[in-house]
Structure 1
């Protein structure tokens, strides 16, 4: 856990509204072609049919902990072996948010990015990410099938990246102070007043989807199909629920070490979390449990995508194959605290129970997770008779929710 402690997955979905690509970038009439059912209409870009000679370097944008060369921890290094085997020197830039990743990829200075679902559709729609020829990534064959060709990493049957890892947003509670044991997200929404001042929530506009997921189960008259595809009425209901919850929230968290500290001290007794936080809190003596409630949960799945303007596409493809190779994918997953994408990685983790803890191969578990996606005006659930609320409006609403 010492390695993981240094990684702060800060505000992955935080964004500056003025910089977001919303409806204008997603499904605009000027991009050509026929809009997909979800309204996404990307430029007609082609994936390479073959690879050429490596260019000698690759420039990456990544989350902290994804491109480790031993400088943060001498025992954690999967970059130098890659450089020796491919001749591609790695230059990486750590991004603190999905919005920063989108901005950096627009410069054309980077060859590949480890995008989450709240950024990937923006990169696809704007033409900043190119389709990927998965046949040129040999280790792709061993990626868990339920990570392939999903709504956040493919469009119209085209793959736009190689899955890297995934995680769920869990409900965590103090087993000594929360009784009876919760089974539902109602504990932090409709029943939050029971723990007034001691409820915690993830500090990001994408958390609106957590409220929408709960309303999908508890208010069927809203007819919510997809927590990332909300028409105005559905969106207003989610925002109203979060404004009500705000009165009972003691702290919104983005730095997970602060959440660990809050659960250890008792300042927080119930709220959303990640598996790595639960593991760390328990290892430090906190009396907690974390689980997916009966309504399911939101979650994140990261995808390595190649820039449409990549100056070093051959080295980029070499990196994509390397980062999901069994040994390296196992190393990254353990260091970062997530389920690996490559099924063969599970046999190579230092903790032999790691994949069981993170539900890596548990298909039924992941079917209960609604992975982050980018809300756009053209509803992702396929509706064409209404407009959905784009992410820029989610950002504005989040400011209002927090007061």
Structure 2
């Protein structure tokens, strides 16, 4: 696999990046700090009407691996071509978690940010980012339609950014041990699973959504419509399922290289993973495969957004256009390990099988993914007669689940 070295270099930060992308910031009382999804009115901010002359500078806040200038790897550089083309000199600040990113954006020192679903909505609600005029972004028209106008990048019909890349939390398994090949998450959640003690699970409160998604199909009487919108009864059912699973789990992972190692040495034989983990593990000789189970999967979709306080908005728009251009989007997707947002990127990846491996363009596949979203008190499934558990309560429950 071409990216094995890059993946190792990025492992610590990327794992703290995408893996924690759905973490919210709870207030002192445990409540979610900002609303998300639909049903709230963000500050009245307007998108740019037209571009001006590039201001000569751009300050980027990004997940590691999203704005590479050749300093980490001379062969990996899509920032320098942007600087030469636009005259916008780029300064990049990487962040490790969504909470860190949200706090940094509040300083007003950054012009653009790559935000995951939970962070994006908190930034919108706080007025830290503004709507984006997609007509000023030439490459936006090429972005896969199934990534546009979604709850994590649009609010009340207004776009707040451009989709960048996405992926699913798939079910990985050792093909020499897990037989027949699984097609359901029951192999990790069923109390009688024959793989108990060899199961790996994702280490984050947002993993509660995986349990809720499983219950949507296996306990339909609970009435779960959205795994991030759980009332008291639904939430307790998900928590109980994870407590039942706890003694079956050999290891909770947040560093996907550690999960890869566990799959290679047999300490784990089945569990939730990213496709990049599966690809890397398989490339190093382990008999590993992945599947999107019948219940679907959770996942992530990231968005580039413009700071409401940015003094460099023309440069910001030019970056948004650049980062979803076929050339740059191909480089980012391949370096980071995800599906690109622009289908034209697929013809430019060095690994010609990259887009097939990450299911880029497969709308049916993407439709089965419940993208990470911060749980809030206002139920994200549209219910108004009950309150849902917010992320503060998810965090407390996760501590209890793990013991």
TM range (shorter): over 0.9
Deviates more, 1:390-399 or 1:1-10: 1-10
What per-residue deviation string (whole Å, max 9, x for no partner) do you get for residues 17-41 of structure 1? 34899556328xxxxxxxx8x3322
TM-score normalised by L of structure 1: 0.94
Cα distance change of structure 1 residues 81 and 24 upon mapping to structure 2, 3 Å threshold: closer
Deviation at 1:15, TM superposition (A): 4.9
- Contact (CA 8 Å) 2:26, 2:32: kept in 1 or not? no
The correspondence of residues 70-149 of structure 1 with structure 2, limited to 5 A, is 70-149=70-149
The whole-number CA distance in structure 1 between the counterparts of 2:24 and 2:146 is 28
Deviation at 1:251, TM superposition (A): 1.0
Q: Does 1:4 align with 2:13?
A: no
TM-score normalised by L of structure 2: 0.94
> SS in structure 2 opposite 1:101?
helix
Picking from 12, 26, 36, the partner of 2:35 is: 26
The whole-number CA distance in structure 2 between the counterparts of 1:89 and 1:349 is 26
The whole-number CA distance in structure 2 between the counterparts of 1:317 and 1:232 is 43
- Contact (CA 8 Å) 2:30, 2:393: kept in 1 or not? no
**Equivalent residue for 2:157?**
157
- Contact (CA 8 Å) 2:379, 2:387: kept in 1 or not? yes
- Contact (CA 8 Å) 1:57, 1:90: kept in 2 or not? yes
**Equivalent residue for 2:294?**
294
**Equivalent residue for 1:367?**
367
> SS in structure 1 opposite 2:214?
helix
Deviation at 1:247, TM superposition (A): 1.1
Which 5+ residue runs of structure 2 have no aligned equivalent?
none
Query: RMSD of the TM alignment (CA)?
Result: 1.7
The whole-number CA distance in structure 2 between the counterparts of 1:132 and 1:19 is 32
Cα distance change of structure 1 residues 115 and 322 upon mapping to structure 2, 3 Å threshold: same
- Contact (CA 8 Å) 2:26, 2:33: kept in 1 or not? no
What per-residue deviation string (whole Å, max 9, x for no partner) do you get for residues 72-116 of structure 1? 111000111111111111111111111111111111111111111
- Contact (CA 8 Å) 1:40, 1:378: kept in 2 or not? no
> SS in structure 2 opposite 1:328?
helix
Deviation at 1:372, TM superposition (A): 1.1
Q: Which runs of 4+ in 1 moved over 6 A?
A: none
**Equivalent residue for 2:378?**
378
> SS in structure 1 opposite 2:311?
coil
Deviation at 1:150, TM superposition (A): 0.5
The whole-number CA distance in structure 1 between the counterparts of 2:275 and 2:206 is 18
> SS in structure 2 opposite 1:236?
helix
Cα distance change of structure 1 residues 21 and 41 upon mapping to structure 2, 3 Å threshold: farther
> SS in structure 2 opposite 1:7?
helix
> SS in structure 1 opposite 2:194?
helix
Deviates more, 1:319-328 or 1:55-64: 55-64
> SS in structure 2 opposite 1:209?
helix
Which 5+ residue runs of structure 1 have no aligned equivalent?
28-35
Cα distance change of structure 1 residues 274 and 20 upon mapping to structure 2, 3 Å threshold: farther
Cα distance change of structure 1 residues 281 and 23 upon mapping to structure 2, 3 Å threshold: closer
The whole-number CA distance in structure 1 between the counterparts of 2:198 and 2:150 is 36
